[in-house]
């Protein structure tokens, strides 16, 4: 059995070792060229538009909140405003060639995937939501309620 002082010393040593290990891993805060981490720091290219629907720093910390609240409003109440709509996010942030927010044309990770890989936070959205912009051509075919002739369709086939 260890004496009290020996126990104390060993705990202290363990903490010190942990601290050293963590700091060596976390020291990857260099600039893009010289960072020590194994995961590339996100470059964050945006193809469309001049700015996002919210300021960048607000988006960085709160985009998940916006999406979370919007989804409840859309699904339960049918409120389909564009500002915090996921579809809208994807439409703007998709890579112009692959049309995806998960994968870019040059093989690198797409807009969403970049930061999420870096922070090791799994994205749940794209299991169900398509990660591609404009994935369907929509037909608008309003049929008059009192059975008048169908107004000619305006889009292509689905």
Partner 1 sequence: MTVSRREFLSIGAAATAGAAIAPGISLIDLAQAKSPEEAVTAAQRWGLLIDTNKCNKGCTACVDACHTENGIDHEQLKGSEATKPHWIRKVEVKDPNTGFEHSLPVMCQHCQEPPCVDVCPTGASFKRDDGIVLVDRHICIGCRYCMMACPYKARSFEHEDITDQKEHAPRGKGTVESCTLCVHKVDRGDGTTACAEACEEEGHRAILFGDLNDPKSEIARTVRAKATRRIREDLNLDNSVRYIGI
Binding site for partner 1 (CB under 8 A): 71-73, 75-82, 87, 90, 127-130, 132, 134-136, 138, 140-147, 150, 158
> Shortest distance, CB of residue 141 to partner 1, whole angstroms?
6
Nearest-Å Rg of the Cα atoms of the chain is: 24
Output 106 or 124, the one with its CB closest to partner 1.
Answer: 124
Q: What span, in angstroms and rounded, lies between the C-alpha atoms of 53 and 38?
A: 32
> Shortest distance, CB of residue 53 to partner 1, whole angstroms?
14
Task: Point out which residues pair with 4 in neighbouring strands.
Answer: none
b/e map of 37-65 (b: 16 or more CB within 10 Å)? eeeebbeeeeeeeeeebeeeeeeeeebee
> Shortest distance, CB of residue 78 to partner 1, whole angstroms?
4
> Shortest distance, CB of residue 56 to partner 1, whole angstroms?
25
Output 13 or 72, the one with its CB closest to partner 1.
Answer: 72
Residue entry with tokens 């169908």? 150
Output 86 or 115, the one with its CB closest to partner 1.
Answer: 86
């Amino acid at each position: 059995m260890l004496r009290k002082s020996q126990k104390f010393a060993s705990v202290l040593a363990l903490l010190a070792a942990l601290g050293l290990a963590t700091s060596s891993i976390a020291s990857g805060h260099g600039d893009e060229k010289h960072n020590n981490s194994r995961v590339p720091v996100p470059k964050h290219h945006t193809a469309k538009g001049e700015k996002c629907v919210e300021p960048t720093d607000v988006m960085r910390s709160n985009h998940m909140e916006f999406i979370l609240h919007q989804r409840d409003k859309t699904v339960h109440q049918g409120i389909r405003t564009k500002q915090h709509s996921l579809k809208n996010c994807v439409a703007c942030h998709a890579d112009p060639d692959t049309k995806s927010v998960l994968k870019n044309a040059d093989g690198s990770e797409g807009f969403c995937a970049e930061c999420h890989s870096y922070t090791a936070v799994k994205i749940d959205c794209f299991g169900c939501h398509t990660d591609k912009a404009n994935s369907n051509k929509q037909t608008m075919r309003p049929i008059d309620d009192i059975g008048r002739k169908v107004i000619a369709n305006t889009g292509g086939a689905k």
